[in-house]
Structure 1
Amino acid sequence: MKDYFTIGELANLFAIDVQTLRYYDSIGLLVPSHRDAHNGYRLYKFDQIYQVASIRYLKRIGYSLNQIRQYLDSRTLEHTMQQLHDQSQELKRRWNELIDIDATIGRKLEFIKQQLPLVDLQHIVVKTFEDRYYLNIGSEESLYGSDVFYFHPTMVFYHGREKTFGAYLFASEKPEDALVLPRGQFLCAYHQGPYETIHERIAFIRAHAQGLHLADWEVNFNILDQFVERDSNHFITEIQIPILSQQ
């Protein structure tokens, strides 16, 4: 049995990079027990193998390097049991969070798959919707800093040139802070292309309302947006204008 390992031998034993061990040394997490007086090479005692194994295990169960240092410096039976219990609870919390995120991603994918076959760039139609729910995001400045932008279809409310954003919620989602887009009839058409040209499309739709009394605002549902498509010419949005009455 070897008494000492060089840094290369220890790295090979655990299939980790030599630079990683040097970094552990620099932050005091795993300091070599000896340094060769002639060449400065790091030498690790055999029992430091168990310290490396502990570090690798703790990293695998989600500990940061700072947490690992604290853990290794304060090991007692009582403290270790409490630390592992707390980490188990944290991992379960993260697991549940990841499950929720995965479900939301799945619903967004399903939304795109359902909507794309319905896209008809030629016609303007009247559609009837039940109550729909969404989360308020606010201004465009708030949009990209919000996680819901990435996990939910984006809604854009236009009042003339002013716009605010929301995140469309699927039927299975209705958090306490959800807002409602009331049921009713909407004059609907699709727009393909950059958002800068969407007002031209809105004006075209309103010009072909054929006796319908329309609200003075619109809600747009982004089907393909900058999160999905790089080329803005491929963006697809459904424009929906509430119908107040028919003449």
Structure 2
Amino acid sequence: MKETLSIGEISALFHLNVQTLIYYDSIGLLVPAERNPMNGYRRYRFDQIYKLAAIRYLHRLGYSLKEIHSSYLESCDINFTLEQLKKQSCILREKAENLLNTDRAIQQKIHFIEQELPNVDMERVSIKEFPERHYFAIGGEELLYGDDSFYLNPTVVFYKDDSKYFGAYLFDDGENFNLQKERADFLRFPVIPAGSFLCGYHQGAYEHIRESACRIRDARKDLDLSDITINFNIIDQFVERDSKSYITEVQIPIIENEEHRARLLCL
């Protein structure tokens, strides 16, 4: 058994880039036992492979090199290690859950686009029935871009008179939606009341969407329509660079009775 190993041998043994070992040396994390004064070649004692194995293990568990160097290796004993591993496990589980939640939101947006896009008919104005639909309330445009849900979920925009406010639609795609329901208190999320809606489509920039809403309203003047217009962005700036190709479904609640009118006023 060799007493010392060259940096190349250590590199091959651990499948590490030589530059990584040089960096570890530069920050004092793994300093070679010997350095040739003539050519600077590094050599490591054989027992230093155990320290390097510990470094790789800890780094794989998510510890930063700074954490490994400044505290972990110096304090390592069974009690300290178990305590730190339990803490790290909690951190990793939380990160994993956050990633899964992000993926669920992404999947919902994908399914929403794939479900809605084949139904788009720019000329059609029709009446559709919808169940209750949940959404995250975001608020005005000044709050929109700082809210993570805006970037992940389909966007729903509520227009009333000259005002508008935004939400992130919790599209019901089955499994992902049910998982979100299990993990969240849906009672605190606003609801678009169930009922009949006069629906049509707008293509193009959002600045002209009110014109499409007026066109859709004019198509059925015989109906008692809410003064609220609800717009669901199907193709938006996140999936299409050209605003001329944006597609939005415009939905206008049809007032069924006074109780229904009162529920819509809560939007």
Rounded Cα–Cα distance in structure 2 between residues aligned with 1:163 and 1:57:
52
* Structure 2: 5+ residue stretches without partners: 173-177, 258-267
C-alpha displacement of 1:180: 1.4
AA aligned to 1:95 is: A
Q: Which amino acid aligns with 1:6?
A: S
Find out whether 1:197 has 2:194 as its counterpart. Answer: no
SS in 2 for 1:227: coil
2:127 and 2:86 mapped to 1: Cα distance?
Answer: 57
Larger deviation, residues 129-138 vs 20-29 = 20-29
Amino acid at match of 1:175: F
* Post-superposition offset of 1:178: 0.6
Distance 1:212 1:206 in 2: 9
Partner of 1:115: 116
What's 2:196 paired with?
Answer: 185
Cα deviation digits, residues 171-191 of structure 1 (max 9, x gap): 433534311112232221111
**SS, match of residue 255 in structure 2:** strand
Shift of 1:240: 1.0
1:133-169 Cα offsets, whole Å, 9 max, x none, are 1111123343333221233211111234432210111
**3-state SS of 1:244 partner:** coil
Shift of 1:48: 1.7
Contact 2:154 2:171 in 1 (8 A): no
**Are 1:25 and 2:25 counterparts?**
yes
Call closer, same or farther: CA 1:2–1:231 in 2, change over 3 Å: farther
> For residue 128 of structure 1, what is the aligned residue in structure 2?
129
Q: Distance in 1 between matches of 2:64 and 2:188?
A: 34
**Residue matched to 1:62:** 62
Tell whether the 8 Å contact from 1:214 to 1:245 is kept in structure 2 after alignment: no
Aligned partner of residue 76 in structure 2, secondary structure: coil
Q: Is 1:2 matched up with 2:2?
A: yes
The whole-number CA distance in structure 2 between the counterparts of 1:111 and 1:245 is 27
Give TM-score, length-normalised by structure 2: 0.81
Q: CA distance change for structure 1 residues 145 and 10 in 2, over 3 Å: closer, same or farther?
A: farther
Q: Aligned-pair distance for 1:225?
A: 1.5
Counterparts in 2 of 1:30 and 1:237: CA distance versus 1, 3 Å: same
* CA drift at 1:79: 0.8
After the TM superposition, which residues 40-55 of structure 1 pair with which residues of structure 2 at under 5 Å, given as runs?
Answer: 40-55=40-55
The amino acid of 1:193's aligned partner reads: G
Q: What's the counterpart of residue 247 of structure 2?
A: 236
Cα distance in 1 for partners of 2:47, 2:109 equals 51
Partner of 2:36: 36
Change over 3 Å in CA distance of 1:41–1:142 after alignment to 2: farther
Could you tell me which residue of structure 2 aligns to residue 90 of structure 1? 91
Alignment partner of 2:62: what SS? coil
Q: Percent identity?
A: 52
Give the direction of change, closer, same or farther, for the CA distance of 1:176–1:65 in structure 2 (3 Å limit). farther
**The 10-residue stretch of structure 1 (1-10 or 122-131) with the greater mean CA deviation from structure 2:** 1-10
Q: Secondary structure at the match of 2:107?
A: helix
What SS is found at the alignment partner of 1:66?
Answer: helix
Quick check: which one's helix share is greater? 2
SS in 1 for 2:224: strand
User: For 1:141-160, what aligned pairs fall within 5 Å after superposition?
Assistant: 141-160=142-161
Residue 217 of structure 1 is matched in structure 2 by 228
Gaps of 5+ in 1: none
